[in-house]
Structure 1
Amino acid sequence: MSTRADFPRPVREIENLWIPMPDGARLAARVWLPEDAEIDPVPALLEFLPYRKSDGTTLRDSMRQPYYAGHGYAVARVDMRGSGDSDGVLDDEYTTQEHDDAVAIIAWLARQSWCDGNVGMMGISWGGFNSLQVAARRPPELKAILVIGFTDDRYADDVHYMGGCVITSQMLSWSSVMLAYNALPPDPRWVGERWRDMWFERLEGSPPFVEAWLTHQTRDAYWKHGSAGEDYDAIQVPVYAVGGWADSYNNSVPRLLAGLSVPRKGLIGPWAHTFPEMGGPEPAIGFLQDSLRWWDHWLKGVDTGIMDEPMLRCWIQDSVPPATFYAERPGRWVADPAWPSPNVSWWSYHLHGAGPANWLDVAPGTTLPRTIRGREGYSFDVGQWGSYGSPGEWPGDQRAADGEALTFDCEPVEKPMDILGYPELDLSLSVDRPLALVAARLCDVAPDGASTLVSWGLLNLTHRNSHEFPEPLVPGERYQVTVRLNVTGHRLATGHRWRVAISPTYTRHAWPSPEPVTLTVFTGAASRLRLPVRDPQPDDDALRPFPSAESSPPLAMETLRTPATRKSLRHDLIDGVTEYLIEDDAGRSRHVGSGMETDDRLMERYTVRDGAPLSLQVHIERTLELQRDEWRIRVETLSTMTADATHFHVS
């Protein structure tokens, strides 16, 4: 990625600007704007986060916000109440207070002498979530939003639950991130001697978020609040929705395009949980230039042509050998005029079985039971729930995991097959316990036997009809269920096979049922894999190429300790205990301009004994440190999560 600082308008930066709230609290903002904005006012862009503007998102902010400012925007990166340098306490995600504050900030920005009254809101992850949520509040000054790596469904598509299952790898992990961040004080540079009182207020007032998350285990009012999918019509401004296949937040992009009635665009590339111009994996694109086309169209009234282009543009990934890291994902861009797309149709493979063999075929076969008892140590080698673009995050070869599941393969395809959308698995099944789940993986199997994960999905079987109103299972009774897998865009190469793998355990990402479960799948007409097959379109080859990635110059940083990460998987052959260990040292860095040093270390340990699902334990230790000269702060958190037959236990 190239950098540039020769912008059409010279930029000035305000490191800290106080924004007053209606209740008297002050929120801290870092602002970039054209030097002459007081004379020639510009639209404002808001990014509203809890990740510390002065020492948290500073590097990435320096590479994006001045770029927008240099092209005629005032960009405000605001610390949320209770975070960074702002007043107050942060007591949960996406609260009414958070939304009230955002509405007040937008109104304040529009009133400033350097703003022309038009405001856009943007962000990745939390900033994408709350941009959608605030848009649903309809502040009159907000004219458009741009969201990256977001969800429109807080219950089914975030770090807490998936398919009604507690996400083992994320529930406590993300809570521990916020527990540590919320325990950091503001920077004395901006708040003076108040920093200690503000710090103690946070330490005493910010709870472990996991307590609320586990209190609400169904899709109740807690999760509906802030889920844009509950009422798409509440959003009345244009929306640009962006995701990456290596990220965990993609399902919302097509759903949003289908549900909204306002002008909208979607983009899904090969990327992890990062910005498209930063790549990871490549190809990166000039997304800052592309997003300027969006903002210029909706905030400045300039006809940039962006709305003349197809609604959804996706990178269809080619078949590749399995690996735990990809610097690049080969493929090609395709575009669809709408979603659902007229270019996509369903292709079905039915599940078959005879003797020891299982397979997939387009025609249904005989109804036969195929049975598997889940192993609790299964699935720790299926990759992270979502990638940040670092080594060790992608799933490696799935052959070992496939060997511990019920698998069904099709014949090698005679020509490439592209899929784009949500694969679905219809199953006729029974279980031998009243509480059970089913996990499904879709793999691309090469002629040499290597198995690459393409998509996966989970379903808590008591949620088979509703995430809001679970229904108990009767052991031995047959049920008809559908498991929706994560949205994907993939080309199966000639000579490769589809494989679907089914199991009643997926412990890395689904907290196991309290008792060992035996799952029976019945082959025949009622059990089938449905694939969203996309026919190649002549217009795909004529798409406008994206410009090369560029950014503003990065902030000067000094590395004091080099980052290092280790991930290991161990299975004890004597006691049957599987241990998955993450040791992530993010290193120690110094912000050259402010002199602030930051330090971040993490250890996560997951252990479970085969045959004893209630033995699962998640233990997380995190250490954060801030230092400038003699001022030094160190935060240590320890978090543990276990369960018995009826309750979760967190300490």
Structure 2
Amino acid sequence: MQPDVIEHVWIPMRDGCRLSARLWLPEGLAGRPAPAVLEYIPYRKRDGTRGRDEPMHGFFAANGYAAIRVDMRGSGESEGLMADEYLAQEQEDALDVIAWIAAQPWCSGSVGMMGKSWGGFNSLQVAARRPPALKAIITVYSTDDRFRDDIHFMGGCLLNDNLWWGSIMLAYQARPQDPAVAGEGWREAWLDRLDALPFFPATWASHQSYDDYWRHGSVQEDWSAIRCPVLAVGGWADTYTNAVPRLLANLQVPRRGIIGPWGHIYPQDGVPGPAIGFLQEALRWWDHWLKGLDTGVMEEPMLRAYVNDAVVPDGSRLHQPGRWVGEPDWPSPRISLRELHLTAASVLSPEADPAPGARTIRSPLWHGMAAGEWMATGCPGEMPTDQRLDDGGALVFETAPLEVPLEILGAPELELLLESDAPVAQVAVRLCDVLPSGEVLRVSYQVLNLTHRNGHASPEPLVPGQAETVRITLNACGHRFAPGHRVRLSVATSYWPLVWPAPSAATLTLDTAGCVLRLPCREGGDAIEPFAPALHGTDAPTTQVDPGRVARWSRIDHLTGECTYVTEGEGGLFGEGVLRFDEIDTTLSHSLRRELTVRPDDPLSACYVLTQAYDMGREGWRIRIETTTRMISSAETFRIGGEMAVHENGTRVWTRNWDEEIPRVLI
């Protein structure tokens, strides 16, 4: 059954603004209204996400649902302006959208909401507003805590992806409405949008602790506000996985979780594979909660997770060996913490070493070159590579070769008794699997701004020379250490190019007698049946105009010690190349280059420059957006600047410069 596709629909808001939507309806719907599935994001339904939307929402429509993809206010063809992410206005508009959908003659009055990343965030946030027609949600790669687990900060450290994502948002939000939809007023509305463009990376970098800015939209502030069923989905290669166990543990509604091996890609297209039949799983969820059918979805384990097996580390791996396991409840009674103690002899031992053992570390500031990307998206070279490259700049502790398998599922915990010689310092820890052949695979990691050791709301400087116990929760993971492998823990004082360095190069001293690693070990429970193979609806007619190019490299200047890290994507930001959507005769090209440099002993030498070009359009309507953004810092401030030039049919029509200095507050 082929869906009926309506390319453009206006949805009126209470203040008169109109949002643009694309609609897929089941074939021959007349007289038989259907439940609706909403996805509500700012990435342009007409061209930006068309290639992903068509087979997904078309699948839902072919299986009896009205599927609707809405551009948020100030994005795509929608009217109005966007001032920031996750604003109250965004939620208010969503309430209006859901009420409008429920009132349409093609809708049964029941609405489900789903989304990945931004759409996963606002599915949770809107659920907490409790619109009457919203009966269930699916949140994919999202967070309950906007400060702790989002693209701006990690462990109280400023992520360098804050500039990356902020720069991409500048280009995304500079795109105009399509004249074929918006009509004659598109150009005036475009210039208004450009004039109102916020400088996203500086806005986000100015909020350096868990303040009211981040509390807004963090559903952990009131778990009880969500009263509809929740399906939460994560991926081990993604960075929004920690929220899944927390949602399962804290929500008070019917809930289920799925965590696979994937990066930031819907699981039906998941990389590294295996991809799964996620659309079928979503359909079972919708059928149960929107149609009242008994699909057995609530008889599944509360958490279904993929436990990774070790592989030789490869930055471009497309497949991850492992198996699916199920936990009927979360937290699971089958998982308990097993202690491994750090010793002065660099051993991870089941037995504590009572003798004090001082170990000091001051890592070169380029430690972290083998980290891969903070957020994997299926691009070549983005996964963590052999960790031996970084272990030379860290303290390393490891077990003897294992005699029996060791399977972990959940968040490892590390307790360190340490002192610093500076009031502001970082610690970066990595949990790794050492293969018998010598390669080292990263299993989990975490960074912590040590001024946030007692919480992210009220940072406190360290007292140089004063020993303190610091507790670090590593990223959730699922991994099986095989017999003959070793468990390795690495402790360092920097993690470049993932996070911006502390203002001084600090030395940490660990007292190993007070240091212990606790692993969430899973006992018992056989593997469960794997998911069905991935299915899709019909693809959007698309032509690849150019395959594009992806490059990734680093180098060290042996005269100055300066390290340079570069990634380049030409034609397609995520390796997809230059594409033309044939039905709307629109071609898209997005090129971006990042260059990050730092010297090994001078954190104030850190420099980040990002250049990008976004081209879109068709004959007679061609838009080009060029940006350059950069970041440097002193001990007291971050300095973030940039330029943007916008062209229409080869003529520059708009320019803007930014130069903002932001005080550093214990970061």
TM over 0.5: yes
**Matching residue within 559, 569, 577 for 1:574:** 559
Q: CA deviation at 1:143?
A: 0.3
Report the Cα distance in structure 1 between the residues aligned to 2:240 and 2:15, rounded to whole angstroms: 34
Report the Cα distance in structure 1 between the residues aligned to 2:279 and 2:352, rounded to whole angstroms: 49
Secondary structure at the counterpart of residue 346 of structure 2 = strand
- 232-241 vs 582-591, which moves further: 582-591
Aligned to 2:664: none
Aligned to 1:4: none
Counterpart check, 1:447 vs 2:436: yes
**Matching residue within 384, 389, 392 for 2:381:** 392
Report the Cα distance in structure 2 between the residues aligned to 1:207 and 1:479, rounded to whole angstroms: 41
**Matching residue within 250, 264, 267 for 1:259:** 250
Q: CA deviation at 1:135?
A: 0.3
Which whole-Å deviations, capped at 9, do the CAs of 1:165-205 have from their partners, x for residues lacking one? 1112x110000010110011010011111111111111110
Q: CA deviation at 1:544?
A: 4.1
**Matching residue within 457, 460, 463 for 1:471:** 460
Unaligned 5+ segments in structure 2 are: 642-667
Report the Cα distance in structure 1 between the residues aligned to 2:369 and 2:196, rounded to whole angstroms: 36
**Matching residue within 502, 515, 537 for 2:504:** 515
Report the Cα distance in structure 1 between the residues aligned to 2:482 and 2:470, rounded to whole angstroms: 30
Report the Cα distance in structure 2 between the residues aligned to 1:384 and 1:279, rounded to whole angstroms: 17
Secondary structure at the counterpart of residue 138 of structure 1 = coil
Name the amino acid aligned to 1:591: F
Secondary structure at the counterpart of residue 18 of structure 1 = strand
Aligned to 1:125: 117
> Is the contact between residue 616 and residue 623 of structure 2 (CA under 8 Å) also seen in structure 1?
yes
Secondary structure at the counterpart of residue 93 of structure 2 = helix
Q: CA deviation at 1:644?
A: 0.7
Q: CA deviation at 1:38?
A: 3.2
Aligned to 1:645: 635
Counterpart check, 1:546 vs 2:531: yes
Aligned to 2:405: 416
Name the amino acid aligned to 1:488: C
Name the amino acid aligned to 1:576: G
**Matching residue within 311, 315, 319 for 1:328:** 319
Report the Cα distance in structure 2 between the residues aligned to 1:507 and 1:594, rounded to whole angstroms: 42
Aligned to 2:655: none
Report the Cα distance in structure 2 between the residues aligned to 1:494 and 1:144, rounded to whole angstroms: 43
Report the Cα distance in structure 2 between the residues aligned to 1:151 and 1:166, rounded to whole angstroms: 17
Report the Cα distance in structure 2 between the residues aligned to 1:367 and 1:257, rounded to whole angstroms: 40
**Matching residue within 324, 335, 347 for 1:359:** 347
Name the amino acid aligned to 1:568: W
Aligned to 2:650: none
Report the Cα distance in structure 1 between the residues aligned to 2:242 and 2:616, rounded to whole angstroms: 37
Report the Cα distance in structure 2 between the residues aligned to 1:268 and 1:214, rounded to whole angstroms: 30
Name the amino acid aligned to 2:564: E
Secondary structure at the counterpart of residue 195 of structure 1 = helix
Secondary structure at the counterpart of residue 551 of structure 1 = coil
Secondary structure at the counterpart of residue 529 of structure 1 = strand
Secondary structure at the counterpart of residue 532 of structure 1 = strand
Which whole-Å deviations, capped at 9, do the CAs of 1:616-639 have from their partners, x for residues lacking one? 111111111112111111001111
Aligned to 2:142: 150
Q: CA deviation at 1:536?
A: 2.6
Report the Cα distance in structure 1 between the residues aligned to 2:370 and 2:28, rounded to whole angstroms: 55
Q: CA deviation at 1:441?
A: 0.3
Report the Cα distance in structure 2 between the residues aligned to 1:282 and 1:183, rounded to whole angstroms: 34
Aligned to 1:373: 362
- 252-261 vs 375-384, which moves further: 375-384
Secondary structure at the counterpart of residue 382 of structure 1 = coil
Aligned to 1:214: 205
Secondary structure at the counterpart of residue 111 of structure 2 = strand
Q: CA deviation at 1:579?
A: 0.5
Report the Cα distance in structure 2 between the residues aligned to 1:308 and 1:261, rounded to whole angstroms: 17
Report the Cα distance in structure 2 between the residues aligned to 1:575 and 1:325, rounded to whole angstroms: 31
Name the amino acid aligned to 1:534: R
> Is the contact between residue 37 and residue 115 of structure 1 (CA under 8 Å) also seen in structure 2?
no
Secondary structure at the counterpart of residue 343 of structure 2 = strand
Secondary structure at the counterpart of residue 422 of structure 2 = coil
Secondary structure at the counterpart of residue 255 of structure 1 = helix
Report the Cα distance in structure 2 between the residues aligned to 1:477 and 1:340, rounded to whole angstroms: 36
Which whole-Å deviations, capped at 9, do the CAs of 1:331-380 have from their partners, x for residues lacking one? 11100011111110010110101xxx411111111211100112112112
Q: CA deviation at 1:279?
A: 2.3
Report the Cα distance in structure 2 between the residues aligned to 1:489 and 1:176, rounded to whole angstroms: 33
Secondary structure at the counterpart of residue 112 of structure 1 = coil
**Matching residue within 100, 104, 109 for 2:101:** 109
Aligned to 1:167: 159
Counterpart check, 1:190 vs 2:188: no
Report the Cα distance in structure 2 between the residues aligned to 1:447 and 1:491, rounded to whole angstroms: 14
Q: CA deviation at 1:35?
A: 2.9
Name the amino acid aligned to 1:615: S
Unaligned 5+ segments in structure 1 are: 1-6
Report the Cα distance in structure 1 between the residues aligned to 2:530 and 2:411, rounded to whole angstroms: 26
Secondary structure at the counterpart of residue 91 of structure 2 = helix
Counterpart check, 1:503 vs 2:492: yes
- 378-387 vs 232-241, which moves further: 378-387
> Is the contact between residue 272 and residue 319 of structure 2 (CA under 8 Å) also seen in structure 1?
yes
Report the Cα distance in structure 1 between the residues aligned to 2:531 and 2:123, rounded to whole angstroms: 25
Aligned to 2:67: 75
**Matching residue within 211, 231, 239 for 2:222:** 231
- 203-212 vs 44-53, which moves further: 203-212
Counterpart check, 1:597 vs 2:587: yes
Q: CA deviation at 1:208?
A: 1.4
Report the Cα distance in structure 1 between the residues aligned to 2:316 and 2:568, rounded to whole angstroms: 17
**Matching residue within 79, 100, 103 for 1:87:** 79
> Is the contact between residue 27 and residue 62 of structure 2 (CA under 8 Å) also seen in structure 1?
no
Report the Cα distance in structure 1 between the residues aligned to 2:183 and 2:420, rounded to whole angstroms: 62
Aligned to 2:518: 530
Task: Give the total of aligned pairs.
Answer: 635
How many percent identity over aligned positions?
49
Name the amino acid aligned to 1:458: V
Secondary structure at the counterpart of residue 78 of structure 2 = coil
Q: CA deviation at 1:25?
A: 0.5
Q: CA deviation at 1:516?
A: 1.1
Aligned to 2:659: none
Secondary structure at the counterpart of residue 567 of structure 2 = strand
Q: CA deviation at 1:145?
A: 0.1
Report the Cα distance in structure 2 between the residues aligned to 1:650 and 1:478, rounded to whole angstroms: 35
Secondary structure at the counterpart of residue 593 of structure 1 = helix
Which whole-Å deviations, capped at 9, do the CAs of 1:86-111 have from their partners, x for residues lacking one? 00111111000000000100000000
Name the amino acid aligned to 2:162: M
Secondary structure at the counterpart of residue 120 of structure 1 = strand
> Is the contact between residue 580 and residue 587 of structure 2 (CA under 8 Å) also seen in structure 1?
yes
